[in-house]
Structure 1
Amino acid sequence: MPEAFVRGLEDNARETCIDLLQKSLADTTDLFLAIKQAHWNLKGAAFIGVHKLLDDEAAKIQDFVDTIAERLVILGGTAHGTSQKVVENSSMEAYPLDIQKWDEHVDALKERYMEIGKHIRARMAEAGEAGDEDTADLFTEVSRGIDKGAWFIGAHTA
């Protein structure tokens, strides 16, 4: 395992959290790419508003991706951020390539946000149980952002 840049964490806590972070890196990278897929391809009356919203959301998710990858490396892991590893490790189903209507994209993204939020909360609990409150706190921050993104996107069809 590469060098860790933390003290005071048991090896098993670091290894557990590296695994949790690796899964979250894949999920959030997959979400980022789904957002961009929708952003590039949506059409309809709400186009410009949703298009701009998705740019903002993609930037927020990209920040989470970076934070997750950095924590993973700090703990002594190697961030697996290649497209091949994202496909292999993501818990999400492939984003549909055959939709264009803005409301179909909104529904597809809202579901992905909510599913990833569920996974992040479970990983938050696991990180806390493993004894790494810093990683648990990172997951808390990500979960709040994911939930807010689900609301911002989902509110378009409410």
Structure 2
Amino acid sequence: MAAVKSPLSDSALKVAGEALQGSLIDLIDLSLVAKQAHWNLRGRNFKVVHEHLDEVVALARSGQDDVAERAVAIGVNPDGRVRTVADRTTIPQMEAGYLDDDKVVAAVTDILAQIIARFRERIAATDEPDQITQDLLIGIARELEKQHWMFQVQT
């Protein structure tokens, strides 16, 4: 028995739940990838990129909490366990060791573009079934696109 009775029909709940879970995976892994790059960064633009990566981490962490709480509010259990994220992520991982700032900027730009594309698919998918979830995803996508722009102009 669910702890929360969903305000959505079963079919709408399935679409919204899948959109939220996929977003949660993307945001958790984005925070991990960006923090890994933050710790191992080197190069002329170290300080700027180092601090910018923390903005991405903060955005991803805030977004993942909002996404998980929305899932629970509609009766879906979010799954942010390490094994789940590792098994389901599609985000390319950074190399081990020190990372040159120009390579990090290019990689983060590409990663953000991939995540944004998936968010846009989820936004389209939730238009009819759950506009509240859609609104949440739109807000996060807006911030991801802002970060993408800021990284992209550095390449």
TM-score range, shorter chain: over 0.9
Report the 3-state secondary structure (helix = DSSP H, G, I; strand = E; otherwise coil) of the residue aligned with 2:139. Answer: helix
What is the percent sequence identity of the aligned residues? 32
1:141 aligns with one of 136, 139, 142: 139
Question: Are the aligned partners of 2:40 and 2:97 in contact in 1 as well (CA < 8 Å)?
Answer: no
The residue number in structure 2 matching 1:112 is 111
State the aligned residue count. Answer: 155
Report the 3-state secondary structure (helix = DSSP H, G, I; strand = E; otherwise coil) of the residue aligned with 2:127. Answer: helix
Question: Are the aligned partners of 2:42 and 2:98 in contact in 1 as well (CA < 8 Å)?
Answer: no
Task: For 1:32, give the aligned amino acid.
Answer: S
C-alpha deviations, 1:84-142, integer Å up to 9, x for none? Answer: 1111122223333256100101111110001000000001111113x200011111111
Q: Do structure 1's residue 87 and structure 2's residue 90 form an aligned pair?
A: no
Question: Are the aligned partners of 1:18 and 1:72 in contact in 2 as well (CA < 8 Å)?
Answer: yes
How far apart, in 1, do the equivalents of 2:68 and 2:19 lie? 11
Instruction: Give the CA RMSD over aligned residues.
Output: 1.5
2:148 aligns with one of 129, 147, 150: 150
The residue number in structure 2 matching 1:75 is 74
Question: Are the aligned partners of 1:26 and 1:89 in contact in 2 as well (CA < 8 Å)?
Answer: yes
How far apart, in 2, do the equivalents of 1:140 and 1:6 lie? 21
How far apart, in 2, do the equivalents of 1:90 and 1:4 lie? 27
C-alpha deviations, 1:60-82, integer Å up to 9, x for none? Answer: 11101111111111111111111
How far apart, in 2, do the equivalents of 1:2 and 1:79 lie? 13
Once superposed, which parts of structure 1, at least 4 consecutive aligned residues long, lie more than 4 Å away?
Answer: none
Q: How does 1:5-154 map to 2 (within 5 A)?
A: 6-7=6-7, 9-98=8-97, 100-129=99-128, 131-154=129-152
Structure 2: unaligned runs, 5 residues or longer: none
Task: For 1:4, give the aligned amino acid.
Answer: V
TM-score calculated relative to the size of structure 2? 0.93
TM-score calculated relative to the size of structure 1? 0.91
How far apart, in 1, do the equivalents of 2:148 and 2:140 lie? 12
How far apart, in 1, do the equivalents of 2:115 and 2:78 lie? 19
Structure 1: unaligned runs, 5 residues or longer: none
How far apart, in 2, do the equivalents of 1:6 and 1:19 lie? 15
The residue number in structure 1 matching 2:4 is 4
